[in-house]
A and B are shown apart, each in its own frame.
Chain A
Amino acid sequence: MSALVEIRNLSKVYTRGKQKIEVLHHIDLDIAKGDFLALMGPSGSGKTTLLNLIGGLDTPSQGSLSVGGQRIDSLGEGALAKWRSEHVGFVFQFYNLLPMLTAQKNVELPLLLTKLSAAQRKQNAAIALKLVDLADRATHKPTELSGGQQQRVAIARAIVSDPDLLVCDEPTGDLDRQSAQQVLELLQMLNRDHGKTIIMVTHDPKAAEFARHTLHLDKGTLVEQAAQA
């Protein structure tokens, strides 16, 4: 498989007051197109930072980062925002749905940035909700849904614009075992059947078992790479 994500000599330094904290040290990494990668490591190891960089939510201090052949480390804020809207879907631990919108409207959000008509947006959102098995909850607001259902709505929102890459930050961290299982199976299905490349940060080894590969980070450095059977 060709590499969708190419990372070379990537470092990230945060400045907190007078202190400089190097969170990632000279990372080199290729993530193949169609991969399902679990990023594991202790708190503060730089997992989320690496995920944010790959998702274009933050910019590296040093090194290069290409996704789909495009260097995103040098993009300006506006260009990066546009790139995110076209190429990446995001899933967060706490779902991050807009509480005042229905599931349907939440899923439609990324499509507002496209030229699709209102009818097309509605239709695409309905398809995405059907894919996550929540078509019957389209008119429900997040507070009317369980945690697992909210996360599935968040996944529908992540895939509605058909991005190449899904970045998931602890997607099961706030869920019970059964809901977590459903969400992970859903991600696995999206990877297997729809070819989505997925990068998932997790603390949970059982969640990592759903991935094709697992990478371990410690103190900002890649320490181990394992492939699941």
Chain B
Amino acid sequence: MKYLHLVWAALFRRKTRTFFTIASVLAAFLLFGLLDSVRTAFSQASESVAGANRILTMSKISFTMSLPQSLLPRIQAVPGVKEVAFANWFGGVYQDPKNFFPNEAVSENFFSVYSDFVVPPEQLAAFKSTRTGAIVGEALAQKYGWKIGDKIPLQATIFPQKDGSNAWTFDLVGIYRVADPKDRNNEQAMFFNWKYFDEARQFGNGAIGWYIEKVDDPANADRIANAIDAISANSDHETKTQSENAFTRSFVSQFADVGLIVAGIMSAVFFTLILLTGNTMAQAVRERIPELAILKTLGFSNPGVLALVLAESVLLVLLGGLAGIALAAVVVPAMSVHAGGLLPDSVRPNTWALGIGLMLAIGLVVGVLPALRGMHLKIVDALAGR
């Protein structure tokens, strides 16, 4: 620590240049903070512990193909299945197509299978007794200012009503919260009664989008999934049953390989950053050769000079990088509100940790050549300006 003032003073010897370099690093790490938060949100979506005892059954051909309702009692009869719920994707739009949020028609016992979605008992009772009742996530309700008793109009994009109208109106009877606060992005959905949906829709009546099975033991999930798929084997509605996490992963991968995209963008950004910061450090050390020679004259060792220059480059990247991720930590929650659950409500610790690791690595990479130059300089040549 006693050398910190020396490193700090060297870093700000050329204030304007240092300021612009820090600003570049800040911009790069702001982008990193945002993109890695998206990547984290997508990857964590498929790692829910709460979903470990749930498996999902859907058409083997496509997620969009329906399954017959007649499968329900046969699935319920499979040993190890504790409870079965089902759902249909509705795909309704609230006011404007930009207001995307998941909305699904679900069976009455849906919240019993999804026990991690906590609904007060009286609201759950109201959901079951109200034909047009709907329950939304707390984050979604906050976003649109909804409260219990409100009527929520959705414009159907797939399922018109029997009279041909696309206007569906639901009564908000409950608001669910997720049990684990870090999963708040799961509070962006709306669920309503499948019975009402099935009776009122123009086509596809009696068909189920997918089944959700609660199993007695996650260890038995594979055996149970195979038993469920065997029910429909060689029929015109063969099924594919998989864990909820695997389902989410395959659902997310329909959007894109987010991890690969983020890695690609950040590689390009950091490569440019290394060139830019490396140039700054090389220039800074070139200008300070006589000063480094003086430090060596006074008795600073070669490794000591190497460490000072490396510390300077690491500090340069840390200052910009930490500011960048801190700014991302301010921006991400603000964006999360408008991102329909695609962004977490904060920059997660793993993003901070990865970011700091990258800062240290980039700082060392950009500093190593100038530091070696400082370390190997010959005092008499440097003092003589050679």
Q: What residues of chain A have their CB less than 8 Å away from a CB belonging to chain B?
A: 49, 52, 55, 57-58, 77-78, 81-82, 84-86, 90, 92, 96, 98-101, 105, 109-110, 112-113, 118, 157
Residues of A within 8 A of B6 (CB): 101, 109, 112
**Contact, CB under 8 Å: A96 / B290:** yes
Q: Is the interface of B mostly helix, strand, loop or mixed?
A: helix
Residues of A within 8 A of B380 (CB): 49, 52, 57-58
Interface positions, chain B 7-27, Cβ under 8 Å from A, are 9-10, 12-13
- Least Cβ distance of B297 to chain A in Å? 5
Instruction: List 7 interface pairs A-B (beta carbons < 8 Å), by A numbering.
Output: A49-B380, A81-B299, A96-B383, A98-B291, A99-B13, A101-B5, A101-B9
**Contact, CB under 8 Å: B298 / A90:** yes
Q: Of A52, A85, A99, which one neighbours B299 at CB under 8 angstroms?
A: A85
**Contact, CB under 8 Å: A92 / B298:** no
B3 within 8 A of A: yes
**Contact, CB under 8 Å: B2 / A100:** no
Residues of B within 8 A of A57 (CB): 297, 379-380, 383
B262 within 8 A of A: no
Residues of B within 8 A of A86 (CB): 299
Docked pose: A109 CA to B9 CA in angstroms: 13
B117 within 8 A of A: no
* Proximity string of chain B (261-299) to chain A, C-beta cutoff 8 Å, 1 when within and 0 when not: 000000000000000000000000000001100111111
Docked pose: A55 CA to B383 CA in angstroms: 14
**Contact, CB under 8 Å: A78 / B302:** yes
**Contact, CB under 8 Å: B2 / A81:** no
**Contact, CB under 8 Å: A112 / B3:** yes
**Contact, CB under 8 Å: B13 / A100:** yes
B352 within 8 A of A: no
B205 within 8 A of A: no
**Contact, CB under 8 Å: A109 / B298:** yes
- Least Cβ distance of A130 to chain B in Å? 21
Residues of B within 8 A of A90 (CB): 297-298
**Contact, CB under 8 Å: B301 / A81:** yes
Residues of B within 8 A of A118 (CB): 2
Interface positions, chain B 138-179, Cβ under 8 Å from A, are none
B300 within 8 A of A: yes
**Contact, CB under 8 Å: A109 / B295:** yes
A58-B379 contact in complex given A82-B301, A113-B299, C-beta closer than 8 Å: yes
Docked pose: A110 CA to B300 CA in angstroms: 8
Which 7 pairs across A and B sit closest by C-beta, in order of nearness? Answer: A85-B299, A100-B9, A100-B13, A96-B294, A84-B299, A57-B379, A81-B301
**Contact, CB under 8 Å: A98 / B3:** no
Residues of B within 8 A of A49 (CB): 380
Question: Chain A residue with minimal CB distance to B378?
Answer: A58
* Proximity string of chain B (105-123) to chain A, C-beta cutoff 8 Å, 1 when within and 0 when not: 0000000000000000000
Q: Of B2, B9, B12, B379, which one neighbours A112 at CB under 8 angstroms?
A: B2
Residues of A within 8 A of B290 (CB): 96
Residues of B within 8 A of A81 (CB): 296, 299-302
- Add 8 more A-B contacts to A57-B379, A109-B298 (CB < 8 A): A55-B297, A81-B296, A81-B302, A82-B301, A85-B298, A85-B300, A113-B300, A157-B298
- Least Cβ distance of B290 to chain A in Å? 7
**Contact, CB under 8 Å: A105 / B298:** no
Docked pose: A85 CA to B5 CA in angstroms: 20
Residues of B within 8 A of A55 (CB): 297
Residues of B within 8 A of A105 (CB): 5, 9
Docked pose: A90 CA to B295 CA in angstroms: 11
Question: Chain A residue with minimal CB distance to B12?
Answer: A100
Residues of A within 8 A of B291 (CB): 96, 98-99
Question: Chain A residue with minimal CB distance to B295?
Answer: A109
- Least Cβ distance of A206 to chain B in Å? 25
Residues of A within 8 A of B297 (CB): 55, 57, 84, 90, 96
Docked pose: A106 CA to B295 CA in angstroms: 11
Residues of A within 8 A of B298 (CB): 84-85, 90, 109-110, 113, 157
Question: Chain A residue with minimal CB distance to B3?
Answer: A112
Question: Which of B10, B12, B379 has the largest count of A CB atoms less than 10 A from its CB?
Answer: B379
Question: Chain A residue with minimal CB distance to B305?
Answer: A81
- Least Cβ distance of B260 to chain A in Å? 44
**Contact, CB under 8 Å: A100 / B3:** no
Residues of A within 8 A of B300 (CB): 81, 85, 113
- Least Cβ distance of B352 to chain A in Å? 31
- Least Cβ distance of B308 to chain A in Å? 10
Question: Chain A residue with minimal CB distance to B13?
Answer: A100
Docked pose: A96 CA to B291 CA in angstroms: 7
Interface positions, chain B 355-384, Cβ under 8 Å from A, are 379-380, 383
- Least Cβ distance of B2 to chain A in Å? 6
**Contact, CB under 8 Å: B299 / A110:** yes
**Contact, CB under 8 Å: A98 / B9:** yes
Docked pose: A98 CA to B301 CA in angstroms: 17
- Least Cβ distance of B378 to chain A in Å? 8
Docked pose: A81 CA to B379 CA in angstroms: 11
Residues of B within 8 A of A96 (CB): 290-291, 294, 297, 383
Docked pose: A152 CA to B302 CA in angstroms: 28
Residues of B within 8 A of A58 (CB): 379-380
Docked pose: A157 CA to B298 CA in angstroms: 9
Docked pose: A1 CA to B182 CA in angstroms: 80
Docked pose: A118 CA to B299 CA in angstroms: 18
Q: Of A77, A92, A100, which one neighbours B10 at CB under 8 angstroms?
A: A100
- Least Cβ distance of B380 to chain A in Å? 5
Residues of B within 8 A of A78 (CB): 301-302
- Least Cβ distance of B355 to chain A in Å? 29
Residues of A within 8 A of B299 (CB): 81-82, 84-86, 110, 113
